[in-house]
Amino acid sequence: MIPTFIGITFLCFTVTRFVPGGPVEQAILRYQQAMSQSGEGGGGTASSMDTQGQISEEMMTRLKEIYGFDKPFYHAYVIWLWRVLHLDLGRSDTYSRPVWDLIVEKFPISIIFGLTGFLLSYSICIPLGVWKAVKHGSGFDTGSSILVFIAYSIPGWTAGVLLLMLLGGGSFLNIVPLGGVESTLITPDSKLYSYIQDGGKVSDLPATEIAQHDDLKDIKDVEKAYINSDHPAFKALPKDKVIKLPQGKHSDLTAFGRFLDVGWHMLLPVFCYVLGSFASMTVLMKNSLMENLGQDYVRTAFAKGLSEKTVIFKHALRNSLIPLATGLGHMFSLILAGSYLIEKVFNINGFGLLGYESLIARDYPVTLGILVIASMLRLIGNIISDLLYCIIDPRIRFS
């Protein structure tokens, strides 16, 4: 793990030192744009504009010091690696916040999508692979293979764009939302409106109650502001003033309504996430089972008079699951499961979108921070997969 981690991070860190358009160049460009738009250059000629926004050597040196480009790349890498070993991923150039804080905010979203995709992949591909092995050569096997490999050949983000066009309220059906993880506006014509909580106007609350809550004191137009039944001030609302909210957002839904809302938004992204894994896992399950069905112990079981169902599901299937079971070691990397482009298409504020925006903005501390976590989780997952393979299959020993 150690040399692999060093190799990955050193190569990527070196690229950030030499790729054009880095943070220093972007800072210079912002300065020059500000100078060209200021009053100093408002009526200048072309020749005078050429001299505006020039960066002095002192300012250039200072910019390189700020962004850590004042040292040779190998020296800078050692300093960066030493900070990483002390769990310091640096500070984002774009958000001016610690990289750890930005990454921690994405954990819940990435875990939800990762676990959902993982469970769906295993729960669908294993039964499908078993059924294809049992019906090998049949019309079902051939037809499902065609569909599986067509799905495998379509990139997830491309499928996302097509599905949004078909089902996202564009030119065709309006079944799913266009993106995000939760609804920002739920109106009476929405299917989720039936799950809106009761609430009331802020203006109907006693003044003493409003003064006790900072979020209510800052409201300027209390006649147009509402609270739901989860708000602490709801208990002070007169009973005759309780109404069903005329509109709301995700937090205004009941617990079951919030669950439906998140599931509704997750439908297409999760489908696109697992689209590519269907082919590999299904075919792996099928081939593994067919290989075991041809073994001597299976023929012996049939010769003893055991039923086909018992032989397949009690004997052959258990051994066939070994290649798939070892993949459980990669569950550690589920919190980073996803795709830059899929999250961009569906506007999901997870690791993928954060990494995409960081690359576009040349926010190298965030980019390298995500690389560090992703690399460590992947390497740890590989080790765990090897250990699981050893535990599940007694024929394999590291010695």
Which DSSP string do the residues of 247-271 spell out, in sequence order? SB-GGGB-HHHHHHHHHHHHHHHHH
DSSP type of residue 220: S
Token digits of residue 29: 């460009």
**pLDDT recorded at residue 48:** 39
Token digits of residue 223: 């006649």
Token digits of residue 120: 């769906």
Rounded CA-CA distance 308/298 in Å is 10
Report the pLDDT averaged over residues 136-164: 88
38-90 pLDDT, tens digit each: 655 444 444 433 445 567 777 777 777 777 777 888 888 998 999 999 988 88
Give CA separation, 375 vs 2, 12, 198, in Å: 11, 12, 47
Of 142, 144, 262, nearest in space to 195 by CA: 262
**pLDDT recorded at residue 82:** 92
Rounded CA-CA distance 163/90 in Å is 39
Angle, CA 339 vertex, CA 88 and CA 284 arms, to 5°: 115
Handedness of CA 176, 180, 182, 187 (dihedral sign): negative
Cα 378 → chain centroid = 15
Report the pLDDT averaged over residues 277-302: 86
Of 221, 184, 218, 230, nearest in space to 201 by CA: 221
DSSP type of residue 136: T
pLDDT above 70: percentage of residues in the chain? 92
Q: What are phi and psi of 72, to 5 degrees?
A: -55, 150
Token digits of residue 284: 């792996």
Strand-pairing partners, residue 196, are 253
For 244, the enclosing helix (H) or strand (E) is: strand 243-244
Cα 83 → chain centroid = 26
Residues 6+ apart with CB under 8 A from 329: 381, 382, 383, 384, 385, 386, 387, 388
**pLDDT recorded at residue 49:** 39
Is domain 101-172+267-392 in CATH 3.10.310.10, yes or no?
A: no
Of 74, 90, 71, 83, nearest in space to 10 by CA: 74
Instruction: State yes or no: pLDDT of 122 exceeds 80.
Output: yes
**pLDDT recorded at residue 20:** 79
Residues 6+ apart with CB under 8 A from 364: 16, 22, 23, 93, 358
Rounded CA-CA distance 111/176 in Å is 22
* pLDDT confidence bin for 11, thresholds 50/70/90: very high
Token digits of residue 256: 């079951």
Rounded CA-CA distance 386/82 in Å is 29
**pLDDT recorded at residue 50:** 42
Give CA separation, 309 vs 53, 224, 302, 312, in Å: 79, 65, 11, 5
Q: Is 243 helix (H, G, I), strand (E, B) or coil?
A: strand
DSSP type of residue 197: P
Strands, sheet with 243-244, edge to edge from the N-terminal-most edge strand: 226-228, 198-201, 243-244
**pLDDT recorded at residue 72:** 84
**pLDDT recorded at residue 43:** 46
Can you give the residue ranges of every domain in the chain? 2-88, 101-172+267-392, 197-246
179-234 pLDDT, tens digit each: 888 888 888 888 888 899 998 888 888 888 888 888 888 788 878 888 888 888 88
